[in-house]
Amino acid sequence: MIEGLWRARALGRLPHALLFEGPAGIGKYHSALWFAQGLFCERSAQPDWSEPCGECGGCKRCTAGSHPDLFVLDPLAEELESIPVARIAARDDGGDSASDFFSLRPMEGGMRIAIMREFDRANVQAQNALLKTLEEPGDSALIVLESARPDLLLATVRSRCVVVRFEALEHGDARAVLGAAGAGGSDAEHLVDWAEGSPGKAMALEKEGAVAVRQQIAAVLSGEVDPLVASQQVLELPGEFGGKTSAAQVRTRTRAALQLLIAVLRDGLHHAAGVDRGGLAHGDLVASAPHEEQSWRYAMEQVVALSGEVELNLTPLGILDRAFLALPRPSR
């Protein structure tokens, strides 16, 4: 897919705005960085060139994040819940917004490329601010937006981009990607299933200790462990979570646990509605703890509502306590 875009450049037919859309965690953002590196690779003009060499100055400045003609807005790395208009619109103070970036000529004589990860996090003002650049991008400009939720983009933004659609990998391919990255181990099969075939998400699940969290969920559903013991455990299990402060990391951990709970509850609902366990990522778990559809539904409503509370008043333990207490348990 990226090779096709490089060819389009060679033919002088590369659009000025691209939208990389498709499921989360399948490598759209890293593909965008790879794509940009190929456009900056000094050897790309050679006839037998097929991908970034990794050794020229252009390639090295890309991988070091220091290329003067590459603007990267990564709300995950910057821990921005939403992309503010100040990062997009031109500023009077010589700021570092996308518009400020595009107002300058290319430093190295080639293209000027902006990559914006999860652009669906941009609020309406920020998206509107980008419209101006999308309408008159300038000859050397290229904008690559990445999103797993393109429905949250303004129609005006979307319509000005050429959509490059990324599909989820086959589970076998996803496991191969995991293996190549040295991740997953003996859990790779489960992790890929739980991640719906996304190697990026599977790696995140591994780092977050999802296997152990899921054991706690299973133990509550089968009545082996008290919900309040499980919720405490989940906060204490080993795992790596994003966030600058320990409070932020605990919130990330809480959100991850709630997401896993929702995935299990969704499968519980499906199983109660008659879907075969073989077709469900958590089919083994929900089949071993059969509950009434209404119990799954009640738990789902509670946990989904609690997901909206993570940034608000409740403590992470308070949220997880409520979530685990809402789970269906065997009647005694």
Give the residue among 121, 136, 115 at the shortest CA–CA distance from 19.
115
Determine the size of the site formed for Zn ion (CB under 5 A): 5
For position 14 contacting Zn ion by CB under 5 A, the verdict is no
For the bound state, the minimum distance from the C-beta of residue 191 to Zn ion, rounded and expressed in Å, comes to 34
Residues 6+ apart with CB under 8 A from 9: 39
Query: Residue 44 or 147: which CB sits closer to Zn ion?
Result: 44
Which range touches Zn ion (CB under 5 A), out of 58-66, 91-99, 230-238, 239-247? 58-66
Which range touches Zn ion (CB under 5 A), out of 50-58, 138-146, 200-208, 287-295? 50-58
Which range touches Zn ion (CB under 5 A), out of 55-63, 269-277, 289-297, 310-318? 55-63
Give the residue among 302, 312, 27, 20 at the shortest CA–CA distance from 177.
27
Query: Residue 55 or 78: which CB sits closer to Zn ion?
Result: 55
Helices (H), 136-196: 155-159, 171-180, 188-194
Which range touches Zn ion (CB under 5 A), out of 40-48, 152-160, 235-243, 304-312? 40-48
For position 60 contacting Zn ion by CB under 5 A, the verdict is no
| HSE, side-chain direction, 13 A CA sphere, residue 110 | 20
Could you count the other beta carbons within 10 Å of the beta carbon of residue 113?
Answer: 26
Residues 6+ apart with CB under 8 A from 261: 217, 303, 323, 327
Identify the bridge partners of residue 30 per DSSP, sorted by sequence position: none
For the bound state, the minimum distance from the C-beta of residue 45 to Zn ion, rounded and expressed in Å, comes to 11
Interface with Zn ion (CB under 5 A), residue from 41, 72, 114, 218: 41
Interface with Zn ion (CB under 5 A), residue from 2, 14, 24, 53: 53
Query: Residue 61 or 277: which CB sits closer to Zn ion?
Result: 61
Interface with Zn ion (CB under 5 A), residue from 2, 14, 56, 317: 56
Residues 6+ apart with CB under 8 A from 92: none
- Which positions from 116 through 135 interact with Zn ion, judged by CB under 5 A? none
Query: Residue 38 or 268: which CB sits closer to Zn ion?
Result: 38
Name the token pair of 290: 């059969």
For position 62 contacting Zn ion by CB under 5 A, the verdict is no
Give dist(CA 80, CA 62) in Å, integer: 23
Interface with Zn ion by CB under 5 A: which residues? 41, 52-53, 56, 59
